[in-house]
Amino acid sequence: MSGALLQVDGLRVDYSTRGRWKEVVHDISFEVPAGKVVALVGESGSGKSTVSQALIRRLPENGRITGGSIRFAGNDLVRLPERALRKIRGAQIGFVPQDPGSSLNPLMRVGEQIAETLRIHRRMPRAAAAARAVEILDEVGIPEPALRASQYPHELSGGLRQRALIGIAWACGPQFVIADEPTSALDVTVQRHVLDQLDELVQQHGTAVLLITHDLAVAADRADEIIVMYQGEIVERGATADVLNAPTHEYTRRLVAAAPGLREGRLVPQVQAGEESALFAAFRERVAAQAGSSAPSARAESILEVRGLGKTYGVRGGSFLAADDVSFAVPRGKTLSIVGESGSGKTTSARIAARLVQPDAGTILLDGEDITRATGESLRQLRRRMQVVYQNPFGSLDPRMTVERIVAEPLRSFRVGDRSSQRLLVRELLERVRLSSELADRRPGELSGGQRQRVAIARALAIGPELMILDEPVSALDVSVQEQILQLLVDLQAEFGLSYLFISHDLGVVRQISDRIVVMQKGRVVESGDAADVLGAPAHEYTRELIAAIPGSSAVSG
Amino acid sequence: MRLLRQPGFVISLLVLLLVAVAIVAPSLLSTHDPYLSVPKDRLLPPSAEYLFGTDNLGRDLYSRVVHGTALSIVSAALAVAVGVVVGGLVGLASGFLGGPVDFAIMRLVDVLVAIPGILLALIVVATLGFGPVSIGLGVGLGAAGSFARVMRSQVLRVRNEEYVEAARTLGARMPAVVFRHVLPNAARPVIAVAALELGTAILGVSALTFLGFGAPPPAPEWGALSAAGRDFIAAQPWLSIIPGLVILAVVLAVNRVARAIGGER
Amino acid sequence: MNATLRVLRYIAPKLAQFIFVVLATYTVVFLLITFLPGDPLLAALASKSGGDTIVDPEALERLRQQYGLAGTPWEQYWHRLGMLVHGDLGISIATGQPVATMIARTLPNSVEIALIALVIAIVIAVLFTFLAFLAPVRWLRNLLLQIPPFGVAIPAFLTGLLLISFFSFTLGWLPSSGSRQPGSAILPAVTLALPVGAILFQVFSAAVLEAQASQHVFTAVAKGVPPWRIFTAHLLRNALLPTITVLGLTIGYLAAGTAVVETVFSRDGIGRMTVNAVLARDINVIQGIVLMIAAVYATVNLVVDLAYGVIDPRTRRSGRRPARTAQPADEPKEVTA
């Protein structure tokens, strides 16, 4: 009991929506020992961010603490008057907010935002505070700290901004820091470096940290203890190794099983035996017929091949080389994944392959046929064979259409069957993607992210394509939902003989689904080959870095 | 619907209902003949018999207000219609075609917006002649600029949405994309703006009739009624103030309902 | 040297836009007048002489020359443009005086009430926003936020008439008309200020409330920054941005409002002059006024754009105002709650 820096006891938080108050955090209690890193893990709706905000008593307008106590340094933060709390915030409790894109004041220089907190809590004079701010930027690993201090947030990259936020949190040497998803918006290699920086600060200052994250693998790497939250309650807690190796709660087990960083190896299709209507059998036949439409000897080995793709974008003040001499081939019935971070050109290449963007150079071959210059009606006909699934489940479905209309749209566009047969087919498709057909009359706004993505997959599947191009299809989803979607994709591939071109920035996801992997960096292909080879014996430096940056790798390897 | 529980909204609906009746069947609501002058009853304050009092010719102000509803509201409705249709089409074309066409059209719209609505209306009225139709056209032209901008920004927003691109990959042809996806999604915010514009149009129309550009007397347009009462402001203030209050009430009601349309549906 | 070059590069397109707007306004108004049915000169003369138009074609031609309405539309266009460049706005058909002189004489009166109105409006907007922001009680804030729809819905002439009725006749405090008496500008200015103040309040308070809920204010609170400093350093400038955008719109409101206000209060001014010009179908005066207002509007927008450059460092390089939630392109993922 003593030695605990922070002690939360029976905390309850309510939120009001449209005038009604609902409890979202139900009576939770936990401790953070001095000098230790405790990870609070949960998915969306778990209440973890609410807890982090409640700890410094800054809930949004429609939230309030309704019970419990938060003991810190001899005070109950729930009952402390605001003035006293202000002295604690920033000085004794630091906070690293999420989303570096909007957490810094865009109109204030970076150095000033650090110096501000020094002037308030340490009463440093202007010049001294400004100088110390530059030092702090240096301490958090920002190169050219003096220059960066005089710049505005929009002139720094996401990773640098996050470091600046970390610098702000540690500026006054607090005993305790709350880090709310500090790296979720960053590229995985950047994430690794930033988390390393965090580790270093913890070592140096002996700060206790409460690390909020949705990624169990990150928690596994960085935390001494893990607390798992689910729907407003704590369902598991303990030392990291214990929680990972011997989870007691059902939900924790699901999380552990689902965390991409903690899994290796490819998913195996779980084909479900079951009844199949005549309609669906016809559908399946049509797909098979399309796939086998050309004679086996004339069929190309790869369903999709791109050679020497190039694309340059004109930007203010110059041009940007998005893709440079990119070549790859998707084997029939298999998955080729392109993995890379932002700016790697993976999305551009995929969009070129999908003929959504015109390349400046190169050729695209669909089943041996050159489709680089196809336009108009011939391009439209190609869509029967090649479909796209998008990243954003919120944006790729028309919010005003019902699920049924959405999934039936390709059937309508290509005039496959009449209204009633279309409706039946839609319902079968929904069931194939494991959605209750009751949802057919709902609108996207009423569905969860995972459900929407299933609708998008059903829609892509409806016309019976041979090739599906999936652009980060699971990146916007919760981890446990990611798993289900990936498994679904793998099952569908086995059932329908689909070929996938899969784009992702997350190697942990990619290694579960790929047969071949292509690694891209700054518009060029740096490595490509069979998944096992690329993952097991990476040839390129960057690939090695990517693999090392997968959170959870240290936990897995021991 | 939760809306019906809010008193402000219910009152606004009732007001609009009264307005509708006054437009379609004014004799149901009016108590006297709006054009009949009764010299012995000049300049009487509001009473049970003359709800809003009488003017200097002994005419019942209340009945005149009721009969003036059609003139004022229909003129404003015409303005909104002109604004939405002209501005909407221009904005749709501009947003969809993009490139130099978009640039040129938007510069023209900049000019349209640079000239204050009333002045633009005045130019139209000065050339076409006075009366409710010219006023409606003029105010509408003034509003067309902002409608063009709203429609264009909606079209641009929807065009960039993924579901529009997705529709293309699903095999939809361009016209299908426009009618199935772009228009329905772009139109809703524009309709919400149109509803709000009605209130502004009523104000614009009544300001112009106040200044004397409306139909010739004895047409009981609201603004003109207020202007006519100006000479008697010292002793009989109700003559000029009551028509103004009526306008205020109607505009408040229209805006309240418009906000509901924008927020709810 | 580099800095001045950058500033020039930022200003140049804005200046070009300014000139363009004035030119384009001239063109559009010219086209409107030319292509709308009716002969402006005949209409104006008819209105002046109450129906007896001069039939003599020679005399008519001379008049056309005098008022700059001679020749084909093409010739008229360039002729008038040439005059415009020299600051000559032509002769008023109704009064026979040079339009530029007429405007110069009446403009100060309008500017007087417009400026006072703007000041009052800004004060109202800031004051009410401050109260709404600081109000610890939610019902007070909601009440205050009900006021703007009211201020926007009330017809300007009603406000003017109410004020006259109350302050001039009932109380006898302030003059109800004229431009010469000392207090004569007050009531007109207040009348003008109401809708403008309502809009400014609406925009400014919405911007403040939005800024208050923003992420970066949360960061500031988490740092332990006291409320006063949050308001001044983290809220104010951020909320100013959308507010000064609206400033251009308010100029339009003010300009249009003078027409009604000056009529109600029988004041000499641009608005009243416009009204009289329309009644007399005096095209030259109308054109002159519209051009002048467009020039003022374009100037205000230019100033606003420059102000943006000063307040918001994000616009300095791109030269364009950023979208509301500007996010740079290197964020690969959505953040889960």
pLDDT at A2: 53
Q: Which residue of A has its CA nearest to C227?
A: A86
Give the class (CATH, top level) of A4-258.
alpha beta
Distance CA(B193)–CA(B255), nearest Å, equals 10
Distance CA(C250)–CA(B189), nearest Å, equals 23
Rg of chain B's alpha carbons, rounded to an integer?
22
Residue A145: name the closest of A154, A132, A126, A159 by CA: A132
Tokens read off for C180: 């010469």
Compute the C-alpha angle B188/A419/B171, nearest 5°.
65
Sequence-ordered list of residues with C-beta below 8 angstroms from that of C214, at least 6 positions apart, any chain: A102, C238
Mean local confidence (pLDDT), B141-169: 87
Distance CA(A233)–CA(A225), nearest Å, equals 17
Tokens read off for A315: 């930007």
Best of A358, A409, A443, A453 to disrupt the B interface by mutation (most B CBs within 10 Å)?
Answer: A409
CATH of domain A301-385+465-558: 3.40.50.300
Residue A179, SS3?
strand
User: DSSP code of A417?
Assistant: S
Query: In terms of DSSP bridges, do strands A335-339 and A318-331 run parallel, antiparallel, or are they unpaired?
Result: unpaired
Flag whether residue B36 sits within 8 Å of chain C, measured between CB atoms: no
**Structural domain count of chain B:** 1
What residues 45-64 of chain B have any CB closer than 8 A to a CB of chain A?
none
Torsion, Cα of A215, A220, A221, A224 (10° steps) = 120
Which residue's entry shows tokens 């969306």?
A44
Residue B157, SS3?
helix
Q: Where are the domains of chain A?
A: 4-258, 301-385+465-558, 397-464
Query: Is the peptide bond prior to B218 cis by the omega test (within 30 degrees of 0)?
Result: yes
What residues 147-206 of chain B have any CB closer than 8 A to a CB of chain C?
199, 203, 206
What does the pLDDT look like over B237-259, one tens digit per residue? 888 899 999 999 999 999 888 88
- For A97, the closest of C218, C237, C312 (CB atoms) is C218
Residues of chain B contacting A392 with CB distance shorter than 8 Å: 162
pLDDT at C80: 80
Query: In terms of DSSP bridges, do strands A20-33 and A499-504 run parallel, antiparallel, or are they unpaired?
Result: unpaired
- For C153, the closest of B230, B233, B251 (CB atoms) is B251
pLDDT at A502: 95
Say if B183 falls within a structural domain. Answer: yes
B170 vs A390: CB contact, 8 Å cut-off?
Answer: no
Distance CA(C23)–CA(A250), nearest Å, equals 73
The count of residues in chain C is 337
Amino acid occupying residue A375: T
pLDDT at A51: 93
To the nearest whole angstrom, how far is the Cα of B250 from the nearest Cα of chain C?
A: 9
Residues of chain A contacting C141 with CB distance shorter than 8 Å: none
Model confidence band, residue A1 (pLDDT cutoffs 50, 70, 90): very low
User: DSSP code of C71?
Assistant: S
What residues 82-111 of chain B have any CB closer than 8 A to a CB of chain C?
107-108, 110-111
Residues of chain B contacting C253 with CB distance shorter than 8 Å: 116
C224 vs A61: CB contact, 8 Å cut-off?
Answer: no
H helix and E strand count, chain B: 12, 0
Cα of A517 vs its chain's centroid, Å: 19
Distance CA(A138)–CA(A155), nearest Å, equals 17
pLDDT at C52: 59
The count of residues in chain A is 558
Model confidence band, residue B1 (pLDDT cutoffs 50, 70, 90): low
Of A480-484, B167-171, C26-30, the range with the lowest mean pLDDT is C26-30
To the nearest whole angstrom, how far is the Cα of A273 from the nearest Cα of chain C?
A: 35
Give kind and range of the element (H or E) at residue A207: none
To the nearest whole angstrom, how far is the Cα of A103 from the nearest Cα of chain C?
A: 4
What does the pLDDT look like over C108-162, one tens digit per residue? 888 888 999 999 999 988 888 877 776 666 777 777 777 777 888 889 899 988 8
Asked whether the predicted pLDDT for residue C323 surpasses 70, the reply is: no
Rg of chain C's alpha carbons, rounded to an integer?
25
pLDDT at A256: 87
Residue A513: name the closest of A487, A492, A494, A535 by CA: A487
Which residue's entry shows tokens 């098979």?
A288
Half-sphere exposure of B41 (CA within 13 A, CB side): 16
A152 vs C337: CB contact, 8 Å cut-off?
Answer: no
B203 vs C294: CB contact, 8 Å cut-off?
Answer: no
pLDDT at A299: 62
Which residue's entry shows tokens 């699920």?
A403
Among A168-172, A420-424, B125-129, top mean pLDDT goes to A168-172
Residue B54 has a CB neighbour count (10 Å cut-off) of 27
Asked whether the predicted pLDDT for residue C92 surpasses 90, the reply is: no
Residues of chain A contacting B1 with CB distance shorter than 8 Å: none
Residue C112, SS3?
helix
What does the pLDDT look like over C282-292, one tens digit per residue? 878 888 888 88
Domains A4-258 and A301-385+465-558 share a fold: yes
Between these two residues, C10 and A308, which has the higher pLDDT value? A308
Residues of chain C contacting A472 with CB distance shorter than 8 Å: 332
To the nearest whole angstrom, how far is the Cα of C75 from the nearest Cα of chain B?
A: 20
To the nearest whole angstrom, how far is the Cα of B194 from the nearest Cα of chain A?
A: 21
CB pairs under 8 A between A and C: 129
Of A166-170, A386-390, B11-15, C184-188, the range with the lowest mean pLDDT is C184-188
A504 has which bridge partners?
A: A339
Say if B197 falls within a structural domain. Answer: yes
To the nearest whole angstrom, how far is the Cα of B262 from the nearest Cα of chain C?
A: 15
State phi, psi for C60 to the nearest 5 degrees: -60, -45
Tokens read off for C313: 């460092």
A168 vs C219: CB contact, 8 Å cut-off?
Answer: yes
DSSP assignments along A23-42, one per residue: EEEEEEEEEEETT-EEEEE-
Q: What is the largest CA-CA distance in chain A?
A: 81
Flag whether residue C333 sits within 8 Å of chain A, measured between CB atoms: yes
Distance CA(A346)–CA(A409), nearest Å, equals 28
Say if B61 falls within a structural domain. Answer: yes
Asked whether the predicted pLDDT for residue A344 surpasses 70, the reply is: yes
Asked whether the predicted pLDDT for residue C329 surpasses 60, the reply is: no
To the nearest whole angstrom, how far is the Cα of C230 from the nearest Cα of chain B?
A: 31
Alpha helices in C135-226 (DSSP H): 138-153, 156-163, 186-212, 215-223
Burial B10-21 (b: 16+ CB within 10 A, else e): eebbebbebbee
Residue A6 has a CB neighbour count (10 Å cut-off) of 22
Dihedral (CA of B169, B171, B174, B177) sign: negative
Say if B44 falls within a structural domain. Answer: no
Asked if C107 and C270 count as a contact pair (C-beta separation under 8 A), the reply is yes
B108 vs C290: CB contact, 8 Å cut-off?
Answer: no
Asked if A380 and B173 count as a contact pair (C-beta separation under 8 A), the reply is yes
Round the average pLDDT of chain C to a whole number and report it: 79
Q: Which chains touch A (3 or more CB pairs under 8 A)?
A: B, C
Flag whether residue C137 sits within 8 Å of chain A, measured between CB atoms: no
Model confidence band, residue C318 (pLDDT cutoffs 50, 70, 90): low
The pTM of the full predicted model, rounded to 2 decimals, is: 0.79
Distance CA(C190)–CA(C169), nearest Å, equals 17
- For B116, the closest of C33, C158, C255 (CB atoms) is C255
Asked if B247 and B203 count as a contact pair (C-beta separation under 8 A), the reply is yes
Q: What is the largest CA-CA distance in chain B?
A: 79
Asked whether the predicted pLDDT for residue C330 surpasses 50, the reply is: no
pLDDT at C239: 85
Asked if A216 and A9 count as a contact pair (C-beta separation under 8 A), the reply is no
Tokens read off for A298: 């004339």
Half-sphere exposure of A13 (CA within 13 A, CB side): 29
What does the pLDDT look like over A384-442, one tens digit per residue? 889 999 888 888 899 889 999 999 999 888 888 888 888 888 988 898 898 888 889 99
C238 vs A49: CB contact, 8 Å cut-off?
Answer: no
Q: Which residue of C has its CA nearest to B243?
A: C158
Residue A270 has a CB neighbour count (10 Å cut-off) of 10
C223 vs A105: CB contact, 8 Å cut-off?
Answer: no
Round the average pLDDT of chain A to a whole number and report it: 87
Flag whether residue B167 sits within 8 Å of chain A, measured between CB atoms: yes
Asked whether the predicted pLDDT for residue A43 surpasses 90, the reply is: no
Mean local confidence (pLDDT), C203-223: 88
State phi, psi for B46 to the nearest 5 degrees: -55, 140
Sequence-ordered list of residues with C-beta below 8 angstroms from that of C108, at least 6 positions apart, any chain: none
C337 vs A184: CB contact, 8 Å cut-off?
Answer: no
Residue range of the domain that includes B209: 3-31+50-261
User: DSSP code of A437?
Assistant: G
A305 has which bridge partners?
A: A329, A365
Say if B40 falls within a structural domain. Answer: no
Amino acid occupying residue C173: W
Asked whether the predicted pLDDT for residue A280 surpasses 70, the reply is: no
Q: Reduce the secondary structure of A316-348 to three states and give it as a string.
A: CCEEEEEEEEEEEEEECCCEEEEECCCCCCHHH
A395 vs B173: CB contact, 8 Å cut-off?
Answer: no
Flag whether residue B4 sits within 8 Å of chain C, measured between CB atoms: no
The count of residues in chain B is 265
